[in-house]
């Protein structure tokens, strides 16, 4: 879909330096963009590419305008502006409202206006589907679920019973929400006895759940995902956990049951939460890749560590000293020999 520079600038509140009538037909990176594409410079690491870029339009900050060889859109936060501009070029396949003839919808369900139910969808009893919601092919929705307005369930999603999904939230393909939590206890004979998981899952508005992610239902109370949370692919969230508003969980993050994660946190790929007792993480915490948070964190900041986590600055100093351990050990041995 073609967009004019003036239209894009208005959408992202940018100042235009150059030709506002130029037409943009797509997006590209600084190094590969073509003359009809929009790019952005949001990291100093890519600044060297700017003078030679072939992009037609670049979103950047004021300090980089002088080096831009094409039309510039000047903003304070180029990365945020590019994210906003990218929405103008989203390519979505329109889905017509209605219920596909192969879908199975329980008679007790409530379907609001403009709902689109795809092929082979199954919806259980007493479920409500909000206005403009889309449930795409081969998806199963259990009993007593509540899907808010404009929610989207992509193909092959499974919602167990008692899942609530807030307005404009979406769940991507292969994800399972509301499966029983991992609750077992040994009996007198040593055999494991299952603990019934009777809670649900409460998901807020504007939440995105990536492909093949799993969110367990609560054992008694609900598992809670607050508004604006963004969850990547292949993430596991255990029963009775709470994820605070606008937190990001990147790929392969694992959250053990009963964990409480604050608002505006970031968990990088492969990181996780789990300890001897329930862990609480305060607002504004960033956990770097592969780090495991094994005890509660009450101070905002960046945390790292594949063995024992520390505040990021301490971890970096210790990591640098790891390389000197062998030399330090040899020096100590020499001193010990001299002392004998």
Any idea which residues carry the catalytic annotation? 239
Centre a 10 Å sphere on the Cβ of residue 319 and count the other Cβ atoms it contains: 13
CA dihedral 187, 190, 196, 197 (to 10 degrees): 130
Angle (CA) 202-207-212 rounded to 5° is 85
Q: Which of helix, strand or coil describes residue 235?
A: coil
Question: Which tokens go with 225?
Answer: 């995902």
Judging by beta carbons within 10 Å of its beta carbon (0-12, 13-18, 19+), is residue 36 exposed, middle or buried? middle
Residue keyed to tokens 């894009």: 8
The CA distances from residue 201 to 198, 220, 269, in Å, are 10, 11, 24
SS3 237: strand
Cβ neighbours for 184, distance < 8 A, ≥ 6 positions apart: 192, 193, 194, 195
Question: What does the CA dihedral 53, 58, 62, 66 come to, rounded to 10 degrees?
Answer: 30
- Yes or no: say if 22 and 57 are a contact pair by the CB < 8 Å rule: yes
Find, among 203, 139, 142, 132, the residue nearest to 174 by Cα: 139
Token code pair at residue 296: 């509660």
């Amino acid at each position: 879909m073609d967009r004019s520079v003036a239209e894009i600038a208005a959408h992202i509140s940018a100042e235009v330096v150059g030709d506002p009538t130029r037409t943009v037909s797509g997006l590209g990176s600084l190094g590969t963009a073509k003359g009809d594409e929009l790019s952005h410079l949001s990291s100093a690491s890519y600044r060297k590419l700017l003078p030679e870029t072939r992009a037609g339009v670049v979103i950047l900050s004021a300090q980089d305008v002088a080096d831009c060889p094409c039309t510039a859109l000047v903003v304070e936060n180029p990365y945020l502006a590019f994210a906003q501009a990218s929405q103008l070029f989203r390519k979505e396949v329109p889905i017509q409202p209605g219920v596909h003839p192969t879908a199975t919808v329980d008679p007790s369900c409530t379907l609001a206006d403009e709902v689109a139910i795809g092929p082979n969808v199954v919806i259980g009893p007493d479920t409500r589907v909000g206005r403009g919601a889309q449930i795409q092919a081969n998806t199963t929705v259990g009993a007593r679920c509540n899907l808010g307005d404009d929610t989207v369930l992509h193909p092959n999603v499974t919602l167990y019973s008692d899942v609530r999904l807030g307005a404009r939230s979406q769940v991507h393909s292969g994800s399972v929400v509301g499966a029983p939590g991992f609750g077992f206890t040994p009996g007198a004979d040593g055999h494991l006895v299952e603990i019934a998981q009777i809670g649900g899952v409460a998901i807020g508005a504007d939440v995105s759940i990536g492909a093949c992610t799993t969110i367990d239902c609560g054992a008694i109370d609900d598992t809670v995902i607050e508004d604006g949370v963004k969850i990547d692919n292949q993430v596991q969230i255990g029963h009775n956990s709470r994820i605070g508003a606008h937190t990001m969980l990147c790929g392969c993050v694992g959250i053990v049951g009963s964990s409480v994660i604050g608002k505006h946190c970031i968990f990088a790929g492969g990181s996780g939460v789990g300890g001897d007792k329930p862990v609480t993480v305060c607002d504004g915490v960033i956990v770097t890749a592969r780090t495991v948070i094994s005890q509660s964190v009450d101070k905002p900041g960046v945390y790292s560590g594949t063995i024992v986590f520390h505040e990021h600055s301490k971890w970096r100093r210790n990591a640098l000293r790891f390389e000197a351990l062998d030399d330090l050990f040899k020096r100590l041995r020499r001193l010990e020999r001299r002392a004998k």
